[in-house]
Structure formats: structure tokens, C-alpha cells
Structure 1
Amino acid sequence: MDADDWDERYRAVERVWSVEPNRWVVRETSALEPGRALDLAAGEGRNAVWLAGRGWRVDAIDFSPVAVRRIMDAVGSDQKSVRATVADATRYIPEEAAYDLVLISYLQLPRQDMAAVLASACRAVRPGGTLLLVGHDAGNLEHGTGGPKDARVLSSVEFVREAWEPCADLVVAEVAHRPVGEAEALDTVVRAVRR
């Protein structure tokens, strides 16, 4: 889907996603000392807004202007804590070694594009900073539910490990099980610390 498709999807309903942060983002970042964060492909900003509420200064990037407006509406008058920008994560060049946390949550791209985003994320996080990816795992095609039905855009622990091990030490690398009604979704969850 391109930015226009996402704009239409966001316009069709009041909220596409929950206002609550992603459970794995909460689990993996709650113990971190707040600093500066980059949320790549932030969507409607549920994770960015939650991080800001915990004291983080967040740069939220998304290629949908409708999503970016929703982030700014959610932030309201506290626009110093979240700066939302319309930008495509595959073309965005973040400031190098500038972030204490770089978050990629459910960004589903073809492997070549995703590899470039993962490399860019590694350059953007400062030494000692945290990289976190949460994505729809490829295992969903046979054993889970949710996410795209195209294996070429699904995540895997192995793929993220291969991208991040040259620059960071992996702390968490798992396929996590997330209840979805009566079913279960499988999520790739990888947290790493930049060397």
C-alpha cells in the first residue's frame, strides 16, 4: 500500500488502531531511561504518544499525512514532546547516532527495502542506545493470524538478527504470541543495543 492508500484507510474510520501502545513496545521499553526516540512508520502515533507520556522526546515519521495529523491531534498542546513529520521510512535519512531508542513497529516491507530501513535505524541510534522491531512474523501464514498474507513483507527473527548483529548486541530475539480474540498472532520481537 502507498501513502494515498493509507490516507484513505485512515479517513474511513475514526481510528484504525487502538490508542493503547503495542504490548511488546511497553514490555521492551518500560525499564529504559527516557531520552530521544525515533518512531519509524509511526502510523496514528499510539507508541509515540505513549513514549512521550513517559518522558521521551519523540520524532514520529510516517508517509501518511492523515496519520501525521492524527499524531499531532493526539499530542495536542504538548507538541514539544512529539514532532511528527510526513516522510517515507524507506527514503528518510535520520540524524546519525542521535537517538536513545529507534522503534520500528509493524512496518511490513519487501526484504530489500526493510534491510535498508534496519541499517538506517542502526546508524540513527547512539552507541548504548536501543533498537526495537515488532512485526508480523512469517509464521502467521501457517500458524497464526493477522498481518499481510504476502510472505515477502513479513518479518522474521533471523532476518532482523542478520541486519542488526553487525552493529548491535541482541538482547531479545523471539517470536511472541499475541492473543487476537480466540486466535493467536505471531510477532517478531527483536531488541538490540548498539555497540
Structure 2
Amino acid sequence: MDSNDWDGRYAGSAELVWTAEPNRFVVEAIADLAPGDALDLAAGEGRNAVWLAERGWRVTAVDFSPVAVARGREFAARRGVPVNWRVADVTADAIEPNRYDLVLIAYLHLPPAGLATVLAGAREALRPGGTVVVVGHDRANLDGGVGGPKDPQILLTPQAVVAGLTGLRGVRADTARRPVTVDGATVEALDTVVVATRPE
């Protein structure tokens, strides 16, 4: 899907498409970190960015959908927190190196070359001691979970993400189960979760 497709998807919903709650794995990974400068890549409507800002992080949120960014600005304003919003393509827009204490990539699904570019940028954007958190639909979800894209080429694995974060120290890299409700029943989605830090 390109930015126009996502514009249409966001514009077609009166409510937030992804809810106002942050992702559970993002919360787990970040809850104990001291607030600093954070970059949320492919932030969508900003559920994670706003949660971070509410906890004292100075957040820059980037998405290539102008409609998503507009909705994110409105959401942050309703919650009374500052978020620096930017419309940009995370696969092409340069990221300032050594700038952030946290880089978040949540549910960004790209072909391998695009993912490698984004991971390399995220790695370089970290300050010493900074943390990168990557969460997304795992390739195992095709056979063992629910939801998410159906193209295996854009689904994640912990191994592929770790390979794109060379030089960082791994804190977590696994396939995690996430309960979701479908037609009134609780089922599970499978997500790749990778947390890594840049050595001091």
C-alpha cells in the first residue's frame, strides 16, 4: 500500500483505526527506560507516540500518510501532549545520526531491501546507550496466528530484524503471542519482538 492507500484507509474511519492504546510489547520494552528523545517511525495515528509523550519522552513521529499525521496531531492535542509530527517516507528520508535515545518501529512491513534500509537508519540514529524496539507481524503468523499481511516477503522474523541491527546488543529477540478478539472469541496473533541497545 502506498501513502494514498493509507490516506484513504485513515480518512474512511471516524474513530482511530488502531485504537488509542499503545502496543503491549512497546509498553513492556519501554516502561523502565528513562525518558529522552524518541523517534517513532511509521507512527500511523500516533498511539505509541502519544503514550511516550505522556511519559515525558520528547517524541518525533514520522509517517508517509498526511491523513495519519493530521489525525495524530489531533490525537496528541486531545491528550494534551507535545509530539513533533512529520510527513516523510521512512525508507527515503535521512535520519539524523546519534540523535535519539529510543527508536520505535511498530508494524512497518516492507520488502527485505526496504526493511534493511529502515533498520540501518534506526541503528545509526541511536545515541550510545540508546534502544531500538521493533514489533511486527511474524512470518509464523501465516500458519499459526491471526491477522496481519498475507505476503511472507513483508512479514518479520526475529532473525531478519537482528541481522539488520548489527553492532547493537540484543536484549530480546523472539516470536511473541498476542491475544486478540475475533468474533467474540480470544485468539492469538504472532508478533516478532526485538529490543536492542547501542553499546555505550
Which category of TM-score, normalised to the shorter sequence, fits these structures? over 0.9
- Output the amino acid matched with 1:172: R
Tell me, in whole angstroms, the C-alpha distance in 2 between the residues paired with 1:65 and 1:163: 28
- 5 Å-filtered alignment, 1:10-21, equals 10-14=10-14, 15-21=16-22
CA distance in 1, matches of 2:31, 2:158: 22
Q: Aligned residue for 1:118?
A: 119
Corresponding letter in the other structure for 1:103: L
Post-superposition Cα deviations, 1:48-74, rounded to whole Å, max 9, x if no partner, equal: 000000000000000000000011111
C-alpha distance in 2 between matches for 1:186 and 1:42: 20
Please give the alpha-carbon distance, in whole angstroms, between the structure 1 residues aligned to 2:62 and 2:113.
20
RMSD of aligned Cα (Å): 1.3
Q: Post-superposition shift, 1:172? A: 0.6
Give the aligned partner of residue 40 of structure 2: 39
CA distance in 2, matches of 1:93, 1:77: 30
Q: How far, CA to CA, are the matches of 2:81 and 2:140 in structure 1?
A: 39
User: Measured at CA, do residues 125 and 65 of structure 1 come closer, stay the same or move farther in structure 2, by a change above 3 Å?
Assistant: same
Aligned equivalent of 1:60: 61
| Aligned partner of residue 76 in structure 1, secondary structure | helix
Counterpart AA for 1:145: V
Deviation at 1:135? 0.5
Q: Percent identity?
A: 54
2:176 aligned partner, one-letter code: A
Question: Which whole-Å CA distance do the structure 1 matches of 2:168 and 2:82 have between them?
Answer: 27
Q: How does 1:1-195 map to 2 (within 5 A)?
A: 1-14=1-14, 15-76=16-77, 81-164=82-165, 166-181=166-181, 182-195=186-199
Shift of 1:78: 8.1
**66-75 or 103-112: bigger deviation:** 66-75
- Structure 1 residue identity aligned to 2:12: A
The CA deviation at 1:81 is: 2.9
Runs of 4 or more above 6 Å deviation: 77-80
SS state at 1:26 partner: helix
Q: Does the CA contact (< 8 Å) of 1:98 and 1:124 recur in 2? A: yes
Does the CA contact (< 8 Å) of 1:38 and 1:102 recur in 2? Answer: yes
Q: Secondary structure at the match of 2:164?
A: helix
| SS at 2:67 equivalent | helix
User: Which structure 2 segments of 5+ residues have no match?
Assistant: none
5+ unaligned residues in a row in structure 1: which ranges? Answer: none
| Structure-1-length-normalised TM-score | 0.97
Match of 2:96, SS state, is coil
Report the AA paired with residue 179 of structure 2: P
Distance in 2 separating the partners of 1:149 and 1:183? 17
Distance 1:5 1:77 in 2: 26
Contact 2:44 2:68 (C-alpha < 8 Å) held by counterparts = yes
CA contact (8 A) 1:57 1:80 kept: no
